[in-house]
Structures are given as structure tokens and as C-alpha cells.
């Protein structure tokens, strides 16, 4: 009967001089001489079957996680921004969409923060300006959202890292005055 070490996969030869309860390659002792209650070394088939069962269970879990991710991806809102915006009735009876909440986390010395402020001012966008260096609310909010740099712009809960005029125009298109 061929014996294989379960630790190092060494195949025992008849010429090996180590005791039967010890691996000639890695010197691991498996059972004391005369102990017949425990198997001395595992057979290759038993070891392979256990690994195959473990791998098949792992693959089943990975497949289920991938399917769940795909379902959740399909159920997300279609629009990136504006999904939380509400509609209001204007004085002339037409429905108008209310501008989403816009928060700018920035600093006074940041050029991109200044460009974002100018964009909001030029396009008639109402926003809240929170300085991350001067206010505790600004610092903690910036940190809570992942921070990393300024400006950090939040539009109805959607976070935009950095300044992108094209991104702002796309997100705020219905409310831009120009």
C-alpha cells in the first residue's frame, strides 16, 4: 500500500529508513508505533475527495454572491443623480422639479473649490459651502464621506470627488439657468 504524507505530499518508498509513523521528507510524526486507532498516513484518494468537496462548496458560494450582485445591480435606480428630487406645482399650474440638495466640502485656498463655487454662482445653483479646515461640521462630514481631497461635492446623497464641470452639468442639467 502506497503511503503519502498529508503535509508535504511525499510518496513513501520501501527504501526509506524512517519509522512508519514518521514522514521521511518533513519529519512529521503522525502516530506512535503500535497505535492502531489512528491511521498512519492518508491515502491520496481521501485527501483529493475532501479538497474537491471544499472547492465545490466555495464555488457555490461565489456563484450565489455573483448572482445576488447582479440582481442588486439591476434593481438600482436608473439615474445617477436626481432620483431623490421631488416635483412641485408652480403658480401657473406646471410641474417643476425641486433642485436637489448640493453640499460643497472645500477650502479657501483650493482653486478647484473656487471653480466649483463660481460654477454654482454663474448657473444659479443653491448650495451649502462647508470649509473642511475652519468648521467642525465640514471636517467631520468630509471625513465621513471618505475625504481624500477637496472639493468633495454631494448632490442628493451622491458623492463626486474632485471638480468636473461636465459632471456637474450632467448632474444638475434641469436646474442650470444658462
* C-alpha dihedral (173, 174, 175, 178), degrees to nearest 10: 70
pTM of the entire structure? 0.48
Q: What CATH number corresponds to the domain at position 113?
A: 3.40.30.10
The arithmetic mean of pLDDT across residues 22-39, rounded, is 66
Range of the domain at 94: 87-175
- In this predicted structure, what is the pLDDT of residue 155? 93
44 in a domain, yes or no? no
pLDDT above 60 for 50:
no
Highest mean pLDDT among 52-56, 70-74, 103-107, 173-177: 103-107
Residue 166 covered by a domain: yes
Asked whether residue 23 is assigned to any structural domain, the reply reads no
Residue 148 pLDDT > 80: yes
Residue 132 forms part of a structural domain: yes
The strand pairing partners of 102, in sequence order, are: 155
Residue 43: band (very low, low, confident or very high) from pLDDT cuts 50, 70, 90: very low
Give a yes or no: residue 135 inside a domain: yes
Query: What total of structural domains would you count in the chain?
Result: 1
In a domain, 53, yes or no: no
125: in domain: yes
The rounded Cα 155 to chain-centroid distance in angstroms is: 21
CB atoms under 10 Å from CB of 169, counted, come to 12
What is the length of the chain? 178
From the list 149, 130, 151, the residue with the least C-alpha distance to 140 is 130
Give buried/exposed letters for 63-87 (b at 16+ CB in 10 A, else e): eeeeeeeeeeeeeeeeeebbeebee
What is the reported pLDDT for 178?
65
Between 73 and 137, name the one with better pLDDT.
Answer: 137
More confident residue, 7 or 53: 7
Instruction: Look over the chain and give the mean of its residue pLDDT values, rounded to a whole number.
Output: 78
With respect to residue 1, please indicate whether it lies within any of the assigned structural domains: no
What average pLDDT does this structure show over 144-151? 88
Note the pLDDT of residue 46: 46
Phi, psi at residue 142, to the nearest 5°? -60, -45
> What does the alpha-carbon distance between residue 128 and residue 72 come to, in Å, rounded to a whole number?
32
Amino acid at each position: 500500500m502506497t503511503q503519502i504524507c498529508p503535509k508535504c505530499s511525499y510518496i513513501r518508498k520501501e527504501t526509506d529508513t524512517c519509522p512508519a509513523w514518521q514522514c521521511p521528507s518533513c519529519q512529521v510524526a503522525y502516530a506512535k508505533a503500535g497505535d492502531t486507532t489512528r491511521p498512519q498516513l492518508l491515502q491520496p484518494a481521501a485527501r483529493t475527495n475532501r479538497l474537491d468537496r471544499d472547492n465545490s462548496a466555495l464555488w457555490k458560494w461565489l456563484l450565489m454572491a455573483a448572482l445576488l450582485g447582479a440582481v442588486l445591480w439591476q434593481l438600482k435606480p436608473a439615474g445617477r443623480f436626481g432620483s431623490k428630487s421631488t416635483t412641485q406645482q408652480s403658480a401657473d399650474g406646471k410641474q417643476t422639479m425641486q433642485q436637489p440638495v448640493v453640499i460643497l466640502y472645500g477650502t479657501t485656498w483650493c482653486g478647484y473649490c473656487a471653480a466649483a463655487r463660481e460654477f454654482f454662482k454663474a448657473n444659479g445653483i443653491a448650495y451649502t459651502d462647508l470649509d473642511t479646515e475652519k468648521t467642525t461640521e465640514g471636517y467631520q462630514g468630509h471625513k465621513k464621506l471618505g475625504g481624500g481631497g477637496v472639493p468633495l461635492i454631494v448632490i442628493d446623497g451622491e458623492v463626486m470627488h474632485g471638480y468636473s464641470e461636465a459632471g456637474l452639468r450632467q448632474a444638475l442639467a434641469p436646474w442650470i439657468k444658462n
